[in-house]
Amino acid sequence: MSDRHQGAPSTAGWDPVIVAFASHYCAYAAADLAGVLRLQCSPNVRVIRMPCTGKVESIYIVRAFEKGADGVIVAGCLEGGCHHVEGNLRARRRVERVQALLGEIGIESERLGMYDLSSAQGTRFAEIVNEMNDRVAKLGPSPLRVARQRVEPRVVAVAATKGDPP
Amino acid sequence: MIVAERKPVSEIRDLIAPHDRVLFLGCGTCVTVCMAGGAREVSLMAAVVRMAAELGGRTGLVIEEATVERQCEILFLDPIAEQAAGYDAICSFGCGAGVQHVAARLPQTPVHPGLDTQFLGVLEGDGVWAERCAGCGSCRLAEFSGLCPIARCAKRLLNGPCGGSQVGRCEIDPALPCAWQLIYERARAVGALDRLQGVAEVQEWGKALDGGPRRVVRGDQSIADLRR
């Protein structure tokens, strides 16, 4: 554990906030199926439907962390099965770049994950969500959340941002 | 295009450490297409540097973003000059020329570089930019069938190749093609091998940066002296 975590505020009662960018044609449909199948999914995952993971700009992921997410999932179609041909491959590269950027500033890169699944894999979607939830629970709150709590214990996740990405 | 790379986040964070309100200023031309300092990159870096500052215990830092068409033309900087009073400093994500032009337009505002400017180059493949021109001020491309030994030969040999050319590769890096191999192959392909028969004359380095900072003047572009 890094120095930043030492003396950190108690994490009792903390539930990880996880944002999932899910592609419309595969991962989002899989999430839908997981719901229809009544599969147990961690409730602390906010799913954002994207037309394709190729639409997930690096700034969307970074902004999620800046606004207080403890973990981010980018979930697209199976490689070779992207509805927009190569959007998920572009997303994979962006995820790798953002992982490096997060590492550069001291946020664990494992908090961000790229996953591929088909629309028929509702079970896999539930697994991914639970896997990320467990991983983030083990890592603890985002270092950014910890830093903010140290400054202002009541403020959990507030980011001053201006404008939307281009 | 002018090719640049972003500085490490920690370096930018430290550069702006003395300031509370900083404008991250992108440039919409060369550095946008080499994915280093356009609106997208500026937006990303602003968010990452804000987070880095917070993680370091910094509070109250405001970073806002703007991008102009070209930082190297003063007219495009006028809107920024109007806003500049609202910031303690500017971090320019233009090339070195852009940074200096922003500073010249804003004599009272600290201006820091967000990029490391690299070279004049081309997009060689997806995500790969390569140097092609050294801006030497005295172009010799015609002599070398359109390939520049000054920019592309590690030794800048005008009479190459050297003994380090191995199977078409440069001895300093096997990934680097030998510029002189390329010159020979192209000269052969375009029927200009005879141009390589003679000895190339020495370069006039006085026209390069070695001769001091350069300036290009086009008299027909100014009517200032004709105005009454």
SS3 letters across B15-67: HCCCCCEEEEEEECCHHHHCCCCCHHHHHHHHHHHHHHHHHCCCCCCEEEEEE
State the nearest Cα–Cα gap between A81 and chain B, in angstroms: 22
Report whether B82 contacts B68 (CB < 8 A): no
pLDDT at res. A163: 52
Task: Identify the pLDDT of residue A154.
Answer: 54
DSSP calls for A52-101? -GGG--HHHHHHHHHTT-SEEEEEEPPTT-BTTBSHHHHHHHHHHHHHHH
Strand duo B2-6 + B21-27: pairing = unpaired
| B69 close contact with A: CB closer than 8 A | no
Hey, what are B80's tokens? Answer: 């920024």
Contact by Cβ (8 Å): A110, A131: no
| Residue A2, pLDDT above cutoff 70 | no
- pLDDT value, residue A1: 37
Q: Are residues B59 and A101, on separate chains, in Cβ contact within 8 Å? A: no
Question: How far, in Å, are B3, B152, B175 from residue B172 at the CA level?
Answer: 22, 12, 9
Give the residue-averaged pLDDT of A151-159: 56
* Interchain CB distance below 8 Å, B51 and A160: no
Residue A83 and residue A140: Cα distance in Å, rounded?
36
* Distance in angstroms (rounded) separating the CA atoms of residues B41 and B93: 9
Residue B20 corresponds to which tokens in the numbers above?
A: 């509370």
Q: Which residue of A has its CA nearest to B46?
A: A161
Environment class of B72 (CB within 10 Å of its CB; exposed 0-12, middle 13-18, buried 19+): buried
Question: CA-CA distance, A9 to B32, in Å (whole number)?
Answer: 42
* Chain A CA closest to residue B59: A151
Residue B220, helix vs strand vs coil: helix
**Cβ atoms B125, B101 nearer than 8 A:** no
Measured CA to CA, the distance from residue A122 to residue A117 in angstroms comes to 9
pLDDT, tens digit, for every residue of A4-60? 444 444 566 789 999 999 999 999 999 999 999 999 888 899 999 999 999 999 999
Q: Which residues of chain A neighbour B8 with C-beta distances below 8 Å? A: 104
The confidence score (pLDDT) of residue A8 equals 45
Side chain identity at residue A13, one-letter code: G
Which tens digits make up the pLDDT trace of A101-144? 999 999 999 999 999 999 999 999 999 999 999 999 999 999 99
Residue pair B123/B32 in contact (Cβ under 8 Å)? The answer is no
Distance from CA of A155 to the nearest CA of B (A): 13
CATH of domain A15-151: 3.40.50
For residues A163 and A24, the answer to whether their CB atoms sit within 8 Å is no
Q: Which uninterrupted H or E stretch holds A145?
A: helix A143-151
- Say yes or no for a CB contact (<8 Å) between A107 and B8: no
Q: What residues of A are in contact with residue B39 (Cβ under 8 Å)?
A: 166
Domains in chain B: ranges and CATH: 2-119 (3.40.50.2300), 136-198 (no CATH)
User: How far apart, in whole angstroms, are the C-alpha atoms of residue B33 and residue B122?
Assistant: 10
Question: Which residue is listed with tokens 């922003």?
Answer: B102
At residue A26, the pLDDT reads: 96
DSSP class of residue B7?
A: P
Closest Cα in chain B, distance from residue A121 (Å): 32
Using one digit for the tens of pLDDT, what is the confidence trace for B112-167?
999 999 999 999 999 999 999 999 999 999 999 999 999 999 999 999 999 999 99
pLDDT score of B69: 98
What are the residue boundaries of the structural domains of chain A, listed by start?
Answer: 15-151
Phi, psi angle pair for A22, to nearest 5° = -115, 135
pLDDT in tens, A50-93: 999 999 999 999 999 999 999 999 999 999 999 999 999 999 99
As for the ipTM of the complex, it is 0.90
Rounded CA-CA distance B124/B222 in Å is: 37
How large is the C-alpha radius of gyration of chain A?
Answer: 16
Q: Do B10 and A65 touch (CB under 8 A)?
A: no
- What's the first-to-final CA gap in chain B, in angstroms? 39
The region that residue B71 occupies, defined by phi over 0 for left and psi between -120 and 50 for alpha, beta otherwise, is alpha
Question: How many other C-beta atoms are found inside a 10 Å radius of the C-beta of residue A165?
Answer: 17
Residues of chain B scoring pLDDT < 70: none
